[in-house]
């Protein structure tokens, strides 16, 4: 493996970049102000050691009630802060150039979903006069105002980064997006021919008049509003037309080298349509042609408790999603005000919901150029996920797992053993049954292929498929049909609860007895994501844990009362209470003057009960280190309340997705892995699992891996009490440390995991 991948890189000084791209909004207030101004900063670095550092003493200040709204950050504003951290990576010169472009495009993709779901939800509350404030006390209309102000600023900044930083850098590497004003005669001729042959035949311009009402436009589609002058063959002179650009058309088109010259040269579809709009309206004068894009509410309005056939009802809702209520309008910044006002009126949107952009309105479609084979030097160096030595030459994975647990950390360690276990089960004559949950599995899933093979080979295959996995509903419907056709039993989970648990159970006959094998994970059965997301996988034959997994499958597939588990915590029944009990236990240890420490790493923290329990623990002297990638509604560093809590977020090459919970427990350390975040939806409205890491070697391993996140000083962002995040950087004589680079290096030589 190339050592360059493994070495933490020095973060460049942001001041070397244009100031307007790096400074914070001058007129925007902090996310919220805490009620207590005195702040005790938690140390930036906190290695996990046997001797827990002494907690900060509680300052002598007037303490607010733990229900006080000023102690909480609004979840949508916190989610925006995460996306801003993603955008910041586009300015980080330590990343390869095309990877920086990816971060900028991920910002757009995340923002699309934010408007489709979160903003749409807030607007829906207002429209139905059901405004509900969260623990932070902010009403939906207040939140929307702050969101609009912040997003307008950041979108302007995003396009400035694209136009002033990334595109000029790409041009230095002979990757060019050629604007119309720079088209050579040769390019103009090629574009004219391409437009005539490939674009014009499938475009349908729509003139607007009483018999041609404004068209119903698909969510997030590219469209053009055209201002016309003249009278057509029927004597019509409405002056306006709409050109919808079909989704099947590429948004960027590569120009052949013999036309555009050496390198990777591209023109935008929008530029082609602008240049040849006259051809679409013969005999009329095109006064102007301006691109726009509409974002709609994409949340499904499906109440699974009120439908007889969830799959059939879902198919109908998926079509409706394309035409939900409008929530955002993006237009080219060259679009005249009278035309943007006209569009706002058509979509019943306000001025604050208009976003004028200096470039393409659909940046996410630029993802197509980020994997250029001709420019590997502008991308991450490739790596090969490791396979534990125990499994490298194992002909029978069951024989290995029967002797010890195997813990894998993706993507540093391969997801292949999980797939291979299922493949072997499909062919093994001793395997009787396979049970599997599926939330997201991706296209051409090897997991689904293996389940199909198992069913065709006569195994009893039962798949619990969550049809309502957001934006994967259609894929999951197709997957369900395929499994049913192969003879598998397909269950759609539990009415009213999403099945988000990641678990597999294999029943195998050995020496006249039925033996269980299980896989439990923190992430999806998605081989593609396993190369991009950090997640844990546990392969086990532990009797008690496998029995618990079997009980949970029985609850999902059949009916009955909650079954008592031996080791497994599961939502919506025991997981939340179990976590609260363990936090309370650390609190009690601290009150007794004993060392107390909690480390939790997960994606989002929004559950008010969990936050209050953490505040109480902090007040009692528990040292709390949280690594929260995304939303965090807790305010750290407030004197007398959260002075013992540190929150950091890691943004890097891989999407942090592991859910790990460490409790000092009076010296009898416990670590749990889970599919759940500390969110109400996970703990109260989903089927989730949380399972212990057992055995001294595995405990030490996971603890050490957590330590790398607490000492990261290059990709870590520390949450301040006012809701802002400050990026960590090496100080003094410190060496640069990246958790992801450390893990990539450490796990390239897999550890023997013995129970």
Confidence band, pLDDT 50/70/90 cuts, at residue 560: confident
pLDDT given at position 109: 97
Structure tokens at 425: 């089960």
* Residue 558 DSSP symbol: S
User: Does domain 74-174 match CATH 3.20.20.70?
Assistant: no
Residue 460 · residue 432 · CB < 8 Å: yes
Residue 312 is predicted with a pLDDT of 75
Q: Confirm whether residue 380 is marked as ligand binding.
A: no
- Percentage of residues of the chain with pLDDT beyond 90: 76
Domain ranges of the chain: 33-71+570-746, 74-174, 178-364, 389-563
**Domain 178-364 and domain 389-563 have a common topology:** no
Q: What is the pLDDT of residue 61?
A: 62
pLDDT band of 236, cuts 50, 70, 90: confident
Positive or negative, the CA dihedral 687, 692, 697, 700 is: positive
Q: How far is CA 63 from CA 81, 263, 723, in A?
A: 27, 63, 19
Indicate if the pLDDT at residue 10 is higher than 60: no
Please give the pLDDT value at position 24. 47
Residue 500 designated active-site: yes
Strands 686-692 and 569-571: antiparallel
Question: Is position 657 annotated in a ligand binding site?
Answer: yes
Model confidence pLDDT, tens digit, residues 181-197 = 999 999 999 999 999 99
Kindly indicate the confidence band of residue 366, based on its pLDDT and cuts at 50, 70 and 90. very high
Q: How far apart are CA 564 and CA 548, in angstroms?
A: 8
pLDDT digits over 94-107, tens only?
A: 999 999 999 999 99
pLDDT of residue 720: 96
Q: What is the CATH number that goes with domain 389-563?
A: 3.30.870.10
Residue with tokens 């008592």: 564
Q: What is the pLDDT of residue 250?
A: 94
- Confidence at residue 58, expressed as pLDDT on a 0 to 100 scale: 61
What is the distance between the alpha carbons of residues 649 and 638, in angstroms, rounded to a whole number? 18
> Is 430 known to sit in a ligand binding site?
no
Measured CA to CA, the distance from residue 103 to residue 89 in angstroms comes to 6
The pLDDT score that the predictor gives to residue 598 is 99
Point out the catalytic residue in the list 74, 500, 526, 570.
Answer: 500
Is 629 annotated among the ligand-binding residues?
Answer: yes
Average confidence (pLDDT) over 118-142 = 89
Q: Looking at the domain covering 178-364, what would its CATH class be? A: alpha beta
The answer to whether the annotation marks 648 as part of a ligand binding site is: no
Q: Does 470 appear as a known binding residue?
A: yes
Q: Which CATH class is domain 33-71+570-746?
A: alpha beta
pTM for this entry:
0.89
Q: Is the pLDDT of residue 246 over 60?
A: yes
Q: Quote the mean pLDDT of the chain.
A: 89
* Per-position DSSP letters for 140-189, written without gaps between them: HHHHHHHHHHHHHHHHHHHHHHIIIIIHHHHHHTTEEE--GGG--HHHHH
């Amino acid at each position: 493996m190339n050592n360059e991948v493994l070495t933490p890189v020095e973060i460049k000084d942001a001041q070397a970049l244009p100031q307007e791209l790096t400074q914070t909004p001058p007129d925007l207030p902090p996310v919220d102000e805490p009620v207590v101004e005195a702040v005790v900063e938690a140390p930036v670095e906190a290695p996990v050691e046997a001797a827990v550092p002494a907690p900060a003493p509680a300052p002598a200040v007037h303490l607010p009630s733990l229900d006080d709204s000023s102690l909480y950050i609004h979840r949508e504003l916190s989610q925006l802060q995460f996306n801003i951290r993603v955008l910041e990576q586009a300015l980080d010169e330590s990343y390869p150039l095309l990877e920086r472009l990816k971060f900028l495009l991920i910002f757009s993709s995340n923002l699309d979903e934010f408007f489709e779901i979160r903003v749409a939800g807030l607007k829906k509350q207002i429209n139905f006069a059901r405004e509900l404030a969260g623990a932070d006390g902010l009403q939906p209309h207040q939140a929307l105002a702050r969101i609009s102000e912040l997003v307008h600023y950041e979108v302007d900044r995003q396009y400035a980064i694209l136009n002033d930083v990334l595109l000029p850098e790409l041009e230095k590497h002979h990757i060019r997006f050629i604007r119309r004003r720079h088209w050579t005669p040769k390019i103009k001729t090629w574009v004219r021919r391409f437009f005539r042959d490939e674009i014009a035949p499938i475009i349908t311009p729509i003139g607007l008049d009483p018999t041609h009402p404004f068209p119903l436009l698909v969510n997030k589609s590219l469209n053009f509003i055209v201002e016309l002058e003249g009278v057509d063959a029927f004597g019509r002179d409405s002056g306006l037309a709409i050109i919808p650009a079909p989704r099947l058309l590429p948004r960027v088109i590569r120009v052949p080298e013999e036309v555009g010259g050496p390198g990777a040269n591209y023109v935008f579809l929008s530029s082609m349509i602008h240049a040849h709009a006259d051809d679409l309206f013969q005999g009329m004068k095109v006064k102007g042609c301006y691109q726009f894009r509409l974002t709609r509410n994409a949340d499904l309005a499906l109440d699974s408790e009120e439908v007889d056939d969830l799959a059939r009802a879902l198919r109908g809702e998926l079509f409706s999603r394309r035409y939900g209520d409008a929530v955002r309008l993006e237009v080219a910044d060259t679009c005249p005000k009278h035309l943007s006002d006209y569009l706002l009126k058509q979509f019943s949107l306000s001025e604050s919901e208009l976003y004028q952009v200096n470039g393409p309105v659909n940046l996410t479609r630029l993802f197509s150029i980020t994997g250029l084979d001709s420019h590997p030097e502008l991308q991450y160096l490739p790596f090969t996920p490791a396979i534990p030595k125990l499994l490298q030459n194992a002909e029978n994975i069951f024989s290995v797992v029967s002797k010890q647990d195997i813990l894998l950390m993706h993507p540093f360690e391969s997801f292949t053993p999980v797939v291979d276990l299922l493949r072997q089960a499909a062919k093994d004559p001793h395997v009787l049954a396979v049970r599997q949950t599926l939330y997201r599995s991706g296209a051409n899933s090897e997991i689904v292929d293996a389940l199909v093979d198992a069913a065709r080979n006569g195994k009893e295959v039962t798949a619990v498929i969550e049809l309502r996995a957001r934006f994967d509903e259609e894929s999951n419907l197709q997957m369900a049909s395929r499994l049913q056709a192969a003879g598998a039993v397909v269950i759609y989970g539990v009415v009213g609860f999403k099945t988000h648990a990641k678990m597999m159970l294999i029943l195998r006959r050995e020496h006249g007895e039925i033996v269980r094998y299980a896989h439990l994970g923190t992430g999806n059965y998605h081989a593609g994501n396993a190369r991009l997301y950090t997640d844990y996988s546990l392969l086990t034959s532990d009797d008690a844990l496998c029995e618990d997994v079997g009980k949970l499958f029985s609850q999902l597939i059949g009916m009955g009362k909650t079954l008592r588990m031996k080791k497994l915590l599961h939502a919506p029944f025991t997981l939340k209470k179990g976590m609260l009990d363990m936090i309370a236990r650390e609190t009690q240890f601290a009150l007794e003057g004993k060392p107390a420490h909690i480390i939790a790493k997960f994606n989002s923290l929004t559950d008010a009960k969990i936050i209050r329990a953490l505040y109480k623990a902090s007040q009692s002297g528990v040292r709390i280190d949280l690594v929260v990638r995304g939303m965090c509604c807790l305010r750290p560093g407030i004197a007398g309340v959260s002075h013992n809590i540190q929150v950091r977020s890691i943004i890097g090459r891989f999407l942090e997705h592991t859910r790990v919970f460490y409790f000092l427990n009076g010296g009898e350390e416990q670590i749990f892995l889970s599919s759940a975040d500390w969110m109400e939806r996970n703990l109260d409205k989903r089927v989730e699992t949380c399972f212990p890491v057992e055995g001294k070697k595995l405990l030490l391993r996971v603890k050490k891996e957590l330590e790398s996140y607490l000492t990261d000083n290059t990709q870590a962002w520390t949450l301040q009490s006012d809701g802002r995040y400050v990026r960590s950087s090496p100080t003094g004589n410190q060496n640069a440390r990246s958790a992801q680079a450390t893990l990539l290096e450490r796990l390239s030589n897999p550890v023997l995991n013995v129970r």
